[in-house]
Amino acid sequence: MTASGESQAGRGPAVPSASAAVTHQPLTGGASLSGGLLHAWQQRNAEASLPLALRQLETAGNLANIRLAVSGAREGYRGPVFMDSDIYKVLEAIGWELGRSPDEGLASFLAETTALLEKAQQPDGYLNSYIQVTGRPRYSFLSYSHELYCAGHLIQAGIACQRGAGDPVLLAVARRFADHLVEHFLDQQQGIDGHPIVESALAELYRETGHEPYLRLASQFIEQRGHGLIGDSGFGSRYLQDHEPVRDTVTEVGHVVRALYLDTGVADVAAETGDAALLQSSLTRWADMVAAKTYLTGGNGSRHEGESFGDRFELPPDRAYNETCAAIASFQWAWRLLLATGDAAYADLMERVLYNGFASSTATGGTRFFYVNPLERRADHFEKDDPGRRREWFNCACCPPNIMRTMASLQHYLATVSGGTLYVQQFTRATLSAPVAGGVLSVEMATDYPWAGAVELRVTGAPPQPCGLAVRVPAWSPVPEIRRNENLAGAEAEGGYLVVRRQWRPGDVLRFELDTSPRLTYPDRRVEAVQGTAAIERGPLVYCLEQVDQPAGVDLADLALVEGRLEDTPATVPGVGDTVLVRAGAVRRAAPQEAGLPYHAAADEAQASGDSGDDQVTATAIPYFQWDNRDGRPMKVWIPAAAPRA
Ligand SMILES: [Zn+2]
């Protein structure tokens, strides 16, 4: 029995209860990817990324730590304090993946690992290999121990295995831990975890079970923040979002992943408690983050120090941190706000994050990953001794398994349902069906998105009553004409969507075309780090220039874009795969002699360098998410814009 009393089949990571204060619900009846780029990512995740993770959980010591806890050992623990969370994220990915397609290897890994976790779990429900093996007292350094963070990931994994794989065993382990947390923390001042996620996990566990103390504890952890209860982790109170009460906070500060997971939990709790003021605080922070603290790629985090947000409009492309986990957290938060409000702006940001700041995390082959996602890398770049290329795994390996659980559940974020209308939020080849108007509306979506803007929605099943079929109009596209069976469809524009309401019949087809012509994008003057530059975008994709694609002898650092000529060309690039390249008119300016300060009195740099500026070349841009799949030479998103010549 769930909080909403509905069937569990097809339920994704975040499903508000029937009584929640939301305007949209996810599709619980069915959404699946049937082809195209997102489907290819999901297949790659199953075939390449997850097998790598299973090996790495052995190699890096995560599973060995659990075995030590089972044996009662008091030494030999390996890795950071949060090693258990990597196991849980992989199990979550497996839960969703098994709901998508059966796989004997993944199923047996799930069964064996769950059995191991059952053995490691202590009689009162507590489970944490770091604490159990090192013998440090439980909850004695919550600012850094990540005990509730690991518990949160265990709960999310348990829910995924229940909803995806239909396997309740891990969820039972998670519930025993959650019951212990309720016993220890609810209505107490026992502390809060320095790294949020348990808030949204407990709220979802409430949705899954209907057991109200989980929701009350989630709410308590949110309300207790901002009162100095966490203590000092050495990074200051802003790093931990403990500098002021959540309700009073108007801008995101501190460690980005922590801030955005906290707000994901805020949105969940506000939805379930109907607390409009709490929701409003989250909406305010989101609007501020988008307006002043978000990169063109949808990434967040301007500072390596503390993996944190910077000041408003502090968005340097080369120093961008943009942790992959931050993109995932942003995606999760925006999904909750989309459900709460129905506003297409949240789905717009999800699309920007999905195809750029999130997608860039993973190499074409699916076995190398970025932790940090900058918008520029120079030829001589090093971060300590790291040249900043993708890697198989990390000592702090939070990102790769986080990517895997997201990839495995992508279909759950494609569409929503509200008031008798099915809303198509993301465009890709997929099958969608939603309960509306006393029946079920089912559609097949056909498109080559994001490579092309044409989308076709074919109705395959319809309810006996009239109902709505809506499509989001991305903010970057002019409003398209929608045709139904070749005639204009009479679509109504409503808050970022076009809605067609009618009596649908199987075989009805809606067609429209979003304008994916390449375009130049310029920064707000307050984003000082990229003044005088432009970026190339095409549909939902942000583009970048990589040195490897430029004409022989042309140094990326010497290029400036000329406004006007942009041409797109489908291509298959070795090492990258299928793509659409954009050729852009550019001028090449030889860099000035390297003598003296790199500053000059003339406003026109070409004049200052004595260059005529008319050395015309064609620059080639590739989607940002596909960068660093070849030789690792320089890349940049923001390109100097050549001043128009008089
Ligand atoms: Zn991470």
Report pLDDT digits (tens) over 59-89. 999 999 999 999 999 999 999 999 999 999 9
pLDDT for the residue numbered 331: 98
Judged by DSSP in three states, 595 sits in coil
How far does the centroid of ligand 1 lie from the alpha carbon of residue 588, in Å? 38
Residue percentage of the chain with pLDDT more than 70: 96
Q: Are 76 and 67 in contact (CB under 8 A)?
A: no
What is the rounded average pLDDT of the residues 395-403? 96
Average pLDDT over every residue of 537-554: 96
Q: How does pLDDT run across 253-293, given as a tens digit for each residue?
A: 999 999 999 999 999 999 999 999 999 999 999 999 999 99
For ligand 1, the distance from its centroid to the CA atom of residue 329, given in whole angstroms, is 10
- Residue 568 tokens read as 């797109």
- Say if strands 421-424 and 467-472 run parallel, antiparallel, or are unpaired: parallel
The conformation of residue 429, written as its DSSP 8-state character, comes to: E
Please give the distance, rounded to the nearest whole angstrom, from the Cα atom of residue 399 to the centre of ligand 1: 4
Supply the DSSP symbol for 362.
B
Q: How far is the CA of 99 from the centre of ligand 1 (A)?
A: 25
Q: List strand residue ranges (DSSP E) for 83-123, in order.
A: none
DSSP 558-598: GEEEEEEEEEEEEEEETTTEEEEEEEEEEEE-PPPPS-S-S
Which of 272, 307, 323, 537 does the annotation list as catalytic? 307
DSSP code per residue over 246-299: GGG--S--SBHHHHHHHHHHHHHHHHHHT-HHHHHHHHHHHHHHHHHS--TTS-
What is the whole-number distance in angstroms between the Cα of residue 111 and the centre of ligand 1? Answer: 26
Residue 570 CA to ligand 1 center (angstroms) comes to 33
Backbone angles phi, psi at 239, to 5 degrees: -50, -35
**Distance between Cα 324 and ligand 1 center (Å):** 5
Among residues 161, 398, 467, 544, which one is catalytic? 398
Given a cut of 60, whether residue 244 has pLDDT beyond it is yes
- pLDDT digits over 505-530, tens only? 999 999 999 999 999 999 999 999 99
Using one digit for the tens of pLDDT, what is the confidence trace for 587-609?
A: 887 766 667 888 888 776 655 55
* Active-site annotation holds for 307: yes
**450 upstream amide cis, omega within 30 of 0:** yes
Phi-psi region of 13 (alpha: psi -120 to 50; beta: other; left: phi over 0): alpha
Question: Residue 173: what residue type?
Answer: V
User: Is residue 4 over pLDDT 60?
Assistant: no
Tokens describing residue 232: 């000092």
Percent of the chain's residues with pLDDT above 90: 89
Active site residue 383: no
Q: What is the CA radius of gyration of the chain?
A: 25
Residue 210 has pLDDT above 70, yes or no: yes
In 3D space, the residue among 580, 579, 573, 586 whose CA is nearest the CA of residue 631 turns out to be 573
**CA–centroid distance, residue 323 to ligand 1 (Å):** 6
Residues linked to residue 483 through DSSP beta bridges, in sequence order: 488, 511
Rounded CA-CA distance 61/337 in Å is: 37
**Mean per-residue pLDDT for 540-549?**
98
pLDDT score of 230 more than 50: yes
Lowest-confidence segment of 85-89, 233-237, 365-369, 409-413 by average pLDDT = 233-237
From residue 361, how far is each of 197, 231, 299, 354 by CA, in Å?
21, 33, 11, 10
Residue 601: per-residue pLDDT: 84
Please report where in the chains the tokens 């220890």 appear, as a residue: 184
Confidence of residue 646 (pLDDT cuts 50, 70, 90): very low
Q: What is the pLDDT of residue 604?
A: 65
Is 611's pLDDT higher than 60?
no
Q: What is the pLDDT of residue 8?
A: 46
Which tens digits make up the pLDDT trace of 83-118? 999 999 999 999 999 999 999 999 999 999 999 999
pLDDT confidence of residue 644: 62
pLDDT at 131 over 80: yes
pLDDT at 643 > cutoff 90: no
Report how far apart, in Å, the C-alpha atoms of 151 and of each of 54, 263, 632 are: 20, 18, 38
Quick one: which of 538, 535, 543, 537 has its CA closest to 516? 538
- pLDDT tens digit sequence for 435-472: 999 999 999 999 999 999 999 999 999 999 999 999 99
DSSP-assigned letter for residue 365: T
Q: Among residues 177, 278, 269, 148, which one has the least CA distance to residue 216?
A: 269
- Total-model pTM: 0.97
pLDDT digits (tens, 9 = 90+) for 161-183: 999 999 999 999 999 999 999 99
SS3 101: coil
Answer positive or negative: Cα dihedral of 395, 86, 204, 187.
negative
The pLDDT of residue 595? 76
| d(CA 372, ligand 1 centre) in Å | 8
Q: For residue 540, what pLDDT band results from cuts at 50, 70 and 90?
A: very high
Mean pLDDT of the residues in the chain:
94
Q: Which two tokens stand for residue 350?
A: 């999800």
Q: Three-state SS for 444?
A: strand
What is the whole-number distance in angstroms between the Cα of residue 210 and the centre of ligand 1?
31
* H helical segments located in 293-371: 324-341, 344-352
Q: Which of 377, 369, 249 is nearest to 320 (CA)?
A: 377
